[in-house]
Amino acid sequence: MPTTQTTLTGHSIIAGESVTGTGGTVNGFDPATNEVLEPAYSLIDAAQLATATAAAEEAFASFSSLDPETHAAFLEKIADNIEAVGAELVERAMAETGLPAARLNGERGRTTGQLRLFAAVVRQGDHRGVRIDPAQPDRQPMPRADIRQRKVPLGPVAVFGASNFPLAFSTAGGDTASALAAGCPVVFKAHNAHPGTSEIVGHAIAEAVRDSGLHPGVFSLIYGPGASIGQALVADPAIKAVGFTGSRSGGTALVATAASRPEPIPVYAEMSSINPVFFFDGALKGDLDALASAYVGSVTGSSGQLCTAPGLVFVPAGETGDAFAVAVTRAMAPAAGQTMLTRGIADSWTAGVDSLGKQDGVDLVARGQDGATENAPAPAVFGTDIPTFLSNNVLHEEIFGAASLMVRYTSTDDLLAAAKRLEGQLTATLHMTDEDQSMVAPLLPVLERKVGRILANGWPTGVEVGHAMVHGGPFPATSDTRTTSVGTLAIERFLRPVAYQNIPDALLPAPLQQSNPWRLNRRIDGTIEGAGA
């Protein structure tokens, strides 16, 4: 596929137009050197924000009613355009985040693959949730009306870019892709840590909007401070839902703003998770060095800046657990710190690790080495026991980066008490063999109430994008435990059901018409009937 070159402008893209902000400027920084990156990005003001949200509202009627083929082809065009950018996108993202090329190429593939997966869902149409209860005029004691239901898009969606995923959870990432797949225009607020990366992808989306003949308000990319423009975006009456991946404080602030509006709206915020891993005796009878290396790799990968990084592990007390702790020490010793996303994130990590290490009953188990660049602190594993863990809230706080806490337990009751004490999490992992199942069984019902994904004999880092994946969980992992931000089910966050009772066929939307012109699968009188039925 031929590559294209994007000239960075340093401006927002509002309804297809480059707009110079009047609210000051911000630059990206190379976190490996703390050097300023050009160009400076102009920040929009409130009036310019209103232009973007008004354009999204104007685009909603036509975009929300697209036929499946036009809609799917648009998503595929975005994917094509992102791939056509070539190495330029990865090079800019490397400069702005310190992440390696292999990681970023994987992110780009995940982003384009997700868009194409969602395009297939749009063509199939099951997310539209068509249900038809045909009229039964002769039913006794009372006739039944003809009732038809489908899911419709909510309206324009505000999406906030994530610091730790400059591609997969940013401009064309999961929240944007799922909102667009639902038929909702998007106003995307770029993360100020990677403005150039956001602009390159923003142009790819804007070009797909234009080339697909869609209203330009389907997508806008804006730059501005979160404390003012971000809050104003969520408060804007044109916005009907919010997608956010970031800090607990940032997410809860947006939730509060959305709830205090005259018309409250849903905020789908992924925030804080320490992703407990439970090691059982059977699993520790194998190759401890291999298991410890895998654990350290999961803790330190991408400098631990993953929402699914294992920040908490439970290991049995006694000789087997002691041997595993020694193996972790060996595995961690040569591990060098990797460049973190920003100086601010590195400073926050250091403060969190210092605080954890000063807690009573907490000891250092293993420490790696400082990295060769700026903002690359040495990864660390600390240790404690169940009573200390249960009594100290600091030990339950997320440290965003390569740090983990090893908690030693002596019984099933210990694990049950610890699991019940946990806040909501994205994941829980069980390392076990068949001989451990009697100990695992009572833990599962507790974990079901605490996490969105339970996995066995693997690692929580690495989230498959598919139909069955759940990337969500009870608060504070997310602000809405009923949803997922990864996988095709994410589309349904931005839809709501509408019923049509005794509406003439000619006035019904296409998915509900008797002839089924879009050839969708539909549930008729409780039974799913295939396309064309």
Segment 159-171 shows an average pLDDT of 95
| Biggest CA pair distance of the chain | 80
Are residues 265 and 293 part of one domain? no
Q: Quick check: 4 pLDDT over 90?
A: no
Q: Tokens 């291999």 — which residue?
A: 290
Tell me, what's the pLDDT at 153? 98
Contact (Cβ atoms closer than 8 angstroms) between residue 125 and residue 68 = yes
Backbone phi and psi for residue 99, each to the nearest 5 degrees, phi listed first: -75, 145
- Cα 80 versus chain centre, distance: 22
Q: Quick check: 533 pLDDT over 90?
A: no
Q: Is residue 465 part of a domain?
A: no
pLDDT band at 462 (very low <50, low <70, confident <90, very high): confident
pLDDT band at 465 (very low <50, low <70, confident <90, very high): very high
Is 184 catalytic? The answer is no
455/12 Cα distance (integer angstroms): 41
Pick the catalytic residue from 270, 398, 423, 492. 270
Please spell the DSSP secondary structure of 230-248, one letter per residue. Answer: IHHHHH-TT--EEEEES-H
Backbone phi and psi for residue 29, each to the nearest 5 degrees, phi listed first: -130, 145
Segment 144-158 shows an average pLDDT of 98
Tell me, what's the pLDDT at 2? 44
Are residues 209 and 311 part of one domain? no
Segment 433-461 shows an average pLDDT of 97
Q: Is residue 405 part of a domain?
A: yes
Local structure of residue 226 (DSSP, 8 states): I
Pick the catalytic residue from 307, 398, 423, 492. 307
Please spell the DSSP secondary structure of 204-223, one letter per residue. Answer: HHHHHHHHTT--GGGEEEE-
Paired tokens of 319: 């000789």
Backbone phi and psi for residue 106, each to the nearest 5 degrees, phi listed first: -65, -40
Are residues 201 and 150 part of one domain? yes
The 3-state DSSP class for residue 150 equals strand
Tell me, what's the pLDDT at 1? 44
The 3-state DSSP class for residue 291 equals helix
Is 307 catalytic? The answer is yes
Q: Is residue 238 part of a domain?
A: yes
255/243 Cα distance (integer angstroms): 11
- Cα 348 versus chain centre, distance: 21
Q: Which domain holds residue 313?
A: 276-456
Contact (Cβ atoms closer than 8 angstroms) between residue 178 and residue 494 = yes
The count of other CB atoms within 10 Å of the CB of residue 307 is 26
SS (H, E, C) 81-127: HHHHCCHHHHHHHHHHHCCCHHHHHHHHHHHHHHHHHHHHHHHHCHH
The residue type of 219 is F
Angle (nearest 5°) at CA 300 between 296 and 302: 145
Contact (Cβ atoms closer than 8 angstroms) between residue 87 and residue 72 = no
The count of other CB atoms within 10 Å of the CB of residue 530 is 10
Are residues 253 and 304 part of one domain? no
34/342 Cα distance (integer angstroms): 8
Are residues 297 and 266 part of one domain? no
Q: Is residue 294 part of a domain?
A: yes
pTM score, whole prediction: 0.96
Are residues 140 and 61 part of one domain? yes
Q: How far is CA 329 from CA 332, 336, 386, in A?
A: 5, 13, 21
Tally of structural domains, the chain = 3
Buried b (16+ CB within 10 A) or exposed e, 173-187: bbbbbbbbbbbbbbb
Paired tokens of 22: 């009047």
Are residues 125 and 25 part of one domain? yes
Are residues 261 and 130 part of one domain? yes
Q: Is residue 78 part of a domain?
A: yes
Q: Is residue 462 part of a domain?
A: no
189/173 Cα distance (integer angstroms): 12
Q: Quick check: 262 pLDDT over 90?
A: yes
163/103 Cα distance (integer angstroms): 14
Q: Is residue 476 part of a domain?
A: no
First to last CA, the chain: 40
Arithmetic mean of pLDDT over the chain: 96
Are residues 525 and 506 part of one domain? yes
Are residues 282 and 264 part of one domain? no
Are residues 253 and 343 part of one domain? no
Q: Is residue 2 part of a domain?
A: no
CATH number of the domain bearing residue 227: 3.40.605.10
Tell me, what's the pLDDT at 170? 94
Tell me, what's the pLDDT at 5? 63
Are residues 141 and 266 part of one domain? yes
Q: Quick check: 293 pLDDT over 50?
A: yes
Segment 139-163 shows an average pLDDT of 97
Paired tokens of 370: 């400082």
Q: Quick check: 398 pLDDT over 60?
A: yes
pLDDT in tens, 478-509: 999 999 999 999 999 999 999 999 999 999 99
CATH number of the domain bearing residue 410: 3.40.309.10
